[in-house]
Structure 1
Amino acid sequence: MDKALQASTPPPSHESAFGACRTAVRAGDWHAGLAAFAAAVDKGEAPDPTASVYRAIARIRSEDDPTAGIAELDADQLRAADVRLDWRRLVISPLTRSKASNAAVAALQLALDAWPDSLDDRRLLASILGRLGRWDEAIAHADAAETHSPGDTSLHAARILLRLQAGLIDDAAHIASDTIELVVDDNESAHVWLMALTRGGQKATSARAAARLDPSLFRNERVAAGVVQSLLGDDRFDAAIAAGERALQGGFDGAALRSQLGQAYLARGARDDRAVSALEHFEQGVLLAPDDVRLASLHGKCLLGVGRYVDAIAPLQHACELAPNLDHPRAMLARAYRHSGRYKEAAETLLKLVKVQPERSRWQRLAIAALSQAGRDDEAGSLYDAYLRKRADALPDSFADALSQLEEKIDGAPVPRARLDWAWSLREDSPAMDRTAWERAACWGYLVDHLLLEWLECREDKAEEAMAVLGDLDEAERFLEPIRSQNKGFLIATAHVGPMYAGLMALELLGIPSRWLASMPSVARASYASALISTADQTETQVAKQCLRALDAGLAVCLAIDGAPSPSAPRITFEGQEITYSSFAARTAHRLGMPSIFYVPRWKNGKVVPTLAMLPEPRRGEDVEDYALRWQSTYLSLLREQLSGSPENLRLSGGLWRHVRRADRSKNDFRAHQ
């Protein structure tokens, strides 16, 4: 009976011998699977490809080095075992989740050898290779995936993004340009296209593409932020603001969108844009991303700009903590400290910048002023002396040589394009000079005025060489004689145009006792330093008191009406721009009943000559506000006349130039979103 039963029972099949291994492995019991495999082999069974694959999976998941198990297999075994789904579920996915990147790469490469048409595997492999910095391989796999599915937007996004990460900016922009139509309707990854085009220098193309995307159909906040950034990058301020606000209304919100939208309001530059809208978006952005250094910096900058100096300290401190090596947030923090009366902290903050970037003369100049304001005069003097020596070493031996070298420096003059564009729009028609020649002349004027300052500060023993640029002053002397004969103080109103630093030399040659408002620190030891009222290390109240004392003593006080002693200095609208403007001179002239004149040095036939004109005197019984407006109107008319003249007399830095913004291009070639 037993023998008959034994004869009727079939011998154990291969499946039954190794089936327990596969069942255990698929259930995630790696050790049981290995034990079942070993038991089957002990019984004399020979494993087929399926059994070998599941044993390898058990090894991959249970051993410290998963690559050993992967190395046991080849593509033929995977195909024969038909384990495509289990290979992804049991090997690729867990290795990817555990960030075992090298093992995941090996598993994916094996899978692609077995099933080359697997787009998901190829896409994932490209992503992991990118994380490993193996850019050539990653890009090759992304490109291969795209050939199998040329209309897949996400695959093109991967191709572009990998190239951006690899630093292949031009290649990324080229692909983005060729495939831009893909994201018009399917905009989930549109931000990648816009970023590639912008970084590749195709800002106008990026902006036009962004304008075609309907904010009501945005797929996510990243796209919304990318659209605003692209429009902003091509000076489409109104369009950027409209798109961003509509995205917010549509329920999209995020730190990146708030950051870009706030910057768009700042770029547009109206008072409410700066003081209300931009500030609101930065505040919301900081709530969404408290540790975003850019948002913290922008928040602090905006608070500085509206005069909330104490409030600006905390976000700027946080920005410095997040990014200790960034200089701009630290410089803004120093300004917030200074205007909050915390002079010690301002000095220490700037000294850190000087230590990290000793080659930046700007930080040294600010640190000198901060040390002086903090009462650390000896340190300020020592730093100032070292600062002068370093600058002096960079100057030629003669002023004539320094002047002749300016032509070589014109192309590198750091003049913002917006300033050149605005100044070009104000010029008188000059058919003899094209735009290129005009800009070179304007940049020469920028350079020569800064050279005058360098020479006066650093080559005091050769100051007379710089004075050689002064032209005939007889006409100026005759103009000023009636005013001087009154034996009382008077006001000289100037602006940041023309060779400003020649003005001090001219008054000195004319023998006019004067005081000049200047950003030079009080510790300056030059012979003319006693004629300066420093705005660098004194409060506005202290400066005003010194001006009044000088006028009361019968001196001439010269001040740039367009100067900005504080980040929140008042502004007025002038020729389509906002410029800083102080009514102090007009109000002082009214209060003291004294004359005031408009004075600007200018280049004429290679020499510096003065432009002089009387400004209105107060009328009997005239209200101070009415007088200040009349005085302002005359001053601005005279300033406008100067700006329309020769380009070398523009100067292009400081004062009225500081807040010149780019023209809004929203309506140039496409309609802003409504």
Structure 2
Amino acid sequence: MDDTAIESRLPPAGADAQSAAVRLREIIGQIRAAAHPERDMAALEPALRQAEDGWRDVRRLLVSPFIREGRFEPAIAALGVLIAVYPSRVEERRLLASLYGRTQQWSKAIAEADAAAGIEPGNAVLHAARIQLRVQAGRGAEAADLARNTLAVAQSEPGEAYSWMTAFMRNGDVAEAAGIAAALDPDKLPNERVATTAVRALLEDGRSGAAIRLGDAALRAGHDGAALRSVLGRAHLRRGTEEDRKVHALAHFDAGLQAAPDDVRLLTLYGETLLRAGRYKESVAPLARAIELAPELEQTRVLYARALRYTLQYEAAADQLMTLVEKSPDKPLWQRAAIGALSQAGRKEEAEALFTRYIATRSVKLPDTFQEALARMEERLDTAPIPQARLDWAWSLRGDTSIDRATWERRARWGHMVDHLLFDWLECREERAEEAMQLLGELDTGERFFAPLLAAGRGVVVATAHVGPMYAGLMALELLGIPSRWLATAPSIAQTSYSAALISTADQTEAQVAKACMRAINSGYVLCLAVDGAANPAAPRTTFEGQEVTYSAFASHLAYRLGVPSVFYAPRWENGHVAYTLEMLPAANPGEDAQAHSQRWQKAYFERLREHLASEPENLRLSGGIWRHVTSADRSAQQ
């Protein structure tokens, strides 16, 4: 500041000083009383320059009242005068930046925050404001760059680490946010906001174990709250042990709702976790409340409908799903769910009408010929919606380690998409199903395999998984004329040539499904069950190759109880055509109890499945069943 500027700020002495203070307050009063205060602001600067520490009166008597009244423009104008007279004070610049932000004048807000930080470059609070304003302005990359360049400031003041972590996460730089979180002293977490953001950063970086440890430390330090409980519960779900899912996550969501009973996200998480824990009756209330508060949330409504179904409220479940169909009439996922619910509620005519719409919606997107459909599919391989965690896990199980990752992944995507194309073609182009049947390879081997097994007049339990071209199995058995029944999520109302071969899990209870399976076996049918799939949200899981996967012992128990042979079956691609792996699974030994047999059977099943997963990437499928709960490896040990 030059000498002239300093002299202009020198206050008068004695009575003149008192007079100057009185004059300043008079000007402030006039501005406060004016209809348009901004117009009278010109008189403020000369009066302010004459009054000793006049900034105090301007802040207290002018700026603060305007802000309390929500009159931001005159408050901004007054702060502009204060800054002109006191250019080295940071508080006025910081407040002005905040008001510009509240009025969404982002460029001006950022300029003032930057100027304040230029005066006090070591002030973490000022740099945090710079970062936050850029995040709020939608300048994510700029905020992340600033956070990166001022990282040392954040490390010196953990109480402000929230802004740095938020900027990195908003820009997708979760590893950098997690790095800040991991560096925090768990015994000296400054506040709940920093603790919650740090736990979330670790979770988003795949460090669920570290997130849980930090969250627990925050709770011990007294930093409790709904947001922290929410992210800590999700960390337990991500880690995914049975105790995590059925005990710890539920406890955190429940505690969060004690603090914020109308938090829609917590209500949904709590209800869904109860549902997946098999506590169906308890799941209804939180999901119903979430829908009441946020009726637009489609996925929450689906969860609510499932809770109603599993508490035997079939009519209400159908109504909820029809609400979704009415809101999004061309969304096949909701249509399919609603068809099953309507059937289960006894509303057959509505179900049939909706099924017709459902087929029409999907049919429009299919070309006229199967070859054209295959060609189009090839062009869209990169759009296959496969979670990265599934690809990473499958890559770790491969047998051929000479193939490069890009080629392997493209072939895996092809296998995923072609199976879904087969499903669409069989349901929507039934009159041209024979075009898809050209993909089937030699079938005599399958016929020879099953002939002696069926000769005794009893059925055969066929255990499969969500791998390979699943839907080709229906075509093959239909061509061979082998009497078969398939457990499937397709609703009973399905109007296709193979629908009579389906035992629907979509619109029948578990008891009804079990009885239908036993009838099929006793009638001499080949009964095909995907052991790794279950419609029940609380289906049991087991550990397979480091992942929690759905596994039902129903197939092994059925074979044991009825004394029939059981077979492992997996479709696979071989020279561009569908071939089949068929291998016998263990029969019960004399005097062997059901549990011992089930354990041997499970071991053999997973050994054969493991061999299949090590084969060509086209044979993976990568959706449903064993893939449903695949998560990325916990990276907590990484620094």
Provide the C-alpha distance between the structure 2 equivalents of 1:374 and 1:104, rounded to a whole number of angstroms: 62
The 5-angstrom pairing of residues 310-329 of structure 1 reads 310-329=281-300
Greater Cα shift, 344-353 or 518-527: 344-353
Contact 2:253–2:269 under 8 Å retained in 1: yes
Letter in 1 for 2:555: A
Q: Tell me which of 201, 211, 223 is aligned to 1:252.
A: 223
Q: Tell me which of 122, 146, 171 is aligned to 1:175.
A: 146
Provide the C-alpha distance between the structure 2 equivalents of 1:103 and 1:348, rounded to a whole number of angstroms: 54
Following TM superposition, by how much is the alpha carbon of 1:337 offset from its aligned partner in structure 2, in angstroms? Answer: 1.0
Contact 1:491–1:589 under 8 Å retained in 2: yes
What is aligned with 2:92? 121
Contact 2:482–2:526 under 8 Å retained in 1: yes
Secondary structure at the counterpart of residue 330 of structure 2? coil
What is aligned with 2:404? 434
Following TM superposition, by how much is the alpha carbon of 1:529 offset from its aligned partner in structure 2, in angstroms? Answer: 0.6
Task: Say whether 1:453 aligns with 2:423.
Answer: yes
Provide the C-alpha distance between the structure 2 equivalents of 1:185 and 1:216, rounded to a whole number of angstroms: 16
Provide the C-alpha distance between the structure 1 equivalents of 2:224 and 2:373, rounded to a whole number of angstroms: 54
What is aligned with 2:495? 525
Letter in 1 for 2:93: R
Task: Say whether 1:195 aligns with 2:166.
Answer: yes
Secondary structure at the counterpart of residue 187 of structure 2? helix
Task: Say whether 1:264 aligns with 2:247.
Answer: no
Letter in 1 for 2:437: M
Residues 213-245 of structure 1 deviation map (CA, whole Å, 9 limit, x = unaligned): 111111100111111111111101111111111
Letter in 2 for 1:626: A
Contact 2:280–2:311 under 8 Å retained in 1: yes
Letter in 2 for 1:215: P
Task: Say whether 1:606 aligns with 2:592.
Answer: no
The 5-angstrom pairing of residues 390-409 of structure 1 reads 390-409=361-380
What is aligned with 1:12? none
Provide the C-alpha distance between the structure 2 equivalents of 1:132 and 1:667, rounded to a whole number of angstroms: 44
Letter in 1 for 2:320: T
The 5-angstrom pairing of residues 233-248 of structure 1 reads 233-248=204-219
Letter in 2 for 1:381: E
Provide the C-alpha distance between the structure 1 equivalents of 2:529 and 2:344, rounded to a whole number of angstroms: 21
What is aligned with 2:507? 537
Secondary structure at the counterpart of residue 516 of structure 1? strand
Q: Tell me which of 568, 589, 592 is aligned to 2:559.
A: 589
Letter in 2 for 1:110: V
Task: Say whether 1:615 aligns with 2:585.
Answer: yes
What is aligned with 1:493? 463
What is aligned with 1:571? 541
What is aligned with 1:505? 475
Contact 1:540–1:565 under 8 Å retained in 2: no
Following TM superposition, by how much is the alpha carbon of 1:662 offset from its aligned partner in structure 2, in angstroms? Answer: 1.0
Following TM superposition, by how much is the alpha carbon of 1:128 offset from its aligned partner in structure 2, in angstroms? Answer: 1.2
Following TM superposition, by how much is the alpha carbon of 1:430 offset from its aligned partner in structure 2, in angstroms? Answer: 3.1
* Greater Rg over alpha carbons, structure: 1
Following TM superposition, by how much is the alpha carbon of 1:360 offset from its aligned partner in structure 2, in angstroms? Answer: 2.3
Residues 585-608 of structure 1 deviation map (CA, whole Å, 9 limit, x = unaligned): 111111110111111111011000
Contact 2:585–2:604 under 8 Å retained in 1: yes
Letter in 2 for 1:640: R
Secondary structure at the counterpart of residue 43 of structure 2? coil
The 5-angstrom pairing of residues 464-483 of structure 1 reads 464-483=434-453
Provide the C-alpha distance between the structure 2 equivalents of 1:176 and 1:360, rounded to a whole number of angstroms: 42
Provide the C-alpha distance between the structure 2 equivalents of 1:321 and 1:104, rounded to a whole number of angstroms: 40
Following TM superposition, by how much is the alpha carbon of 1:408 offset from its aligned partner in structure 2, in angstroms? Answer: 1.5
Secondary structure at the counterpart of residue 527 of structure 1? coil
Following TM superposition, by how much is the alpha carbon of 1:285 offset from its aligned partner in structure 2, in angstroms? Answer: 0.8
What is aligned with 1:10? none
Provide the C-alpha distance between the structure 2 equivalents of 1:91 and 1:263, rounded to a whole number of angstroms: 47
What is aligned with 1:553? 523
Number of residue-to-residue matches in the alignment = 626
Provide the C-alpha distance between the structure 2 equivalents of 1:583 and 1:345, rounded to a whole number of angstroms: 31
Letter in 2 for 1:236: R
Provide the C-alpha distance between the structure 2 equivalents of 1:342 and 1:600, rounded to a whole number of angstroms: 37
Provide the C-alpha distance between the structure 2 equivalents of 1:159 and 1:354, rounded to a whole number of angstroms: 45
Provide the C-alpha distance between the structure 1 equivalents of 2:35 and 2:256, rounded to a whole number of angstroms: 44
Q: Tell me which of 252, 263, 266 is aligned to 1:292.
A: 263
Contact 2:490–2:505 under 8 Å retained in 1: yes
Task: Say whether 1:275 aligns with 2:246.
Answer: yes
Q: Tell me which of 366, 389, 392 is aligned to 1:418.
A: 389
Q: Tell me which of 599, 613, 631 is aligned to 1:629.
A: 599
Letter in 2 for 1:657: W
Following TM superposition, by how much is the alpha carbon of 1:357 offset from its aligned partner in structure 2, in angstroms? Answer: 2.3
Secondary structure at the counterpart of residue 151 of structure 1? coil
What is aligned with 1:27? none
Provide the C-alpha distance between the structure 2 equivalents of 1:468 and 1:244, rounded to a whole number of angstroms: 56
Task: Say whether 1:347 aligns with 2:318.
Answer: yes
Contact 2:454–2:524 under 8 Å retained in 1: no
Structure 2 unaligned segments of length 5 or more: list them: 1-13
What is aligned with 1:656? 626
Letter in 1 for 2:212: I
Following TM superposition, by how much is the alpha carbon of 1:626 offset from its aligned partner in structure 2, in angstroms? Answer: 0.6
Provide the C-alpha distance between the structure 1 equivalents of 2:426 and 2:43, rounded to a whole number of angstroms: 80
Provide the C-alpha distance between the structure 2 equivalents of 1:129 and 1:450, rounded to a whole number of angstroms: 52
Secondary structure at the counterpart of residue 321 of structure 1? helix
What is aligned with 2:7? none
Letter in 1 for 2:59: R
Following TM superposition, by how much is the alpha carbon of 1:74 offset from its aligned partner in structure 2, in angstroms? Answer: 4.6
Provide the C-alpha distance between the structure 1 equivalents of 2:596 and 2:580, rounded to a whole number of angstroms: 29
The 5-angstrom pairing of residues 60-71 of structure 1 reads 60-63=31-34, 65-69=36-40, 71=41
Letter in 1 for 2:55: R
Q: Calculate percent identity across the aligned residue pairs.
A: 52
Secondary structure at the counterpart of residue 181 of structure 1? helix
Following TM superposition, by how much is the alpha carbon of 1:65 offset from its aligned partner in structure 2, in angstroms? Answer: 4.6
Following TM superposition, by how much is the alpha carbon of 1:61 offset from its aligned partner in structure 2, in angstroms? Answer: 3.4
What is aligned with 1:132? 103
Q: Tell me which of 143, 146, 167 is aligned to 2:117.
A: 146
Greater Cα shift, 58-67 or 604-613: 58-67
Provide the C-alpha distance between the structure 2 equivalents of 1:565 and 1:54, rounded to a whole number of angstroms: 74
Provide the C-alpha distance between the structure 1 equivalents of 2:78 and 2:288, rounded to a whole number of angstroms: 47
Provide the C-alpha distance between the structure 1 equivalents of 2:330 and 2:201, rounded to a whole number of angstroms: 34
Provide the C-alpha distance between the structure 2 equivalents of 1:113 and 1:291, rounded to a whole number of angstroms: 47
Greater Cα shift, 532-541 or 105-114: 105-114
Structure 1 unaligned segments of length 5 or more: list them: 1-14, 23-47
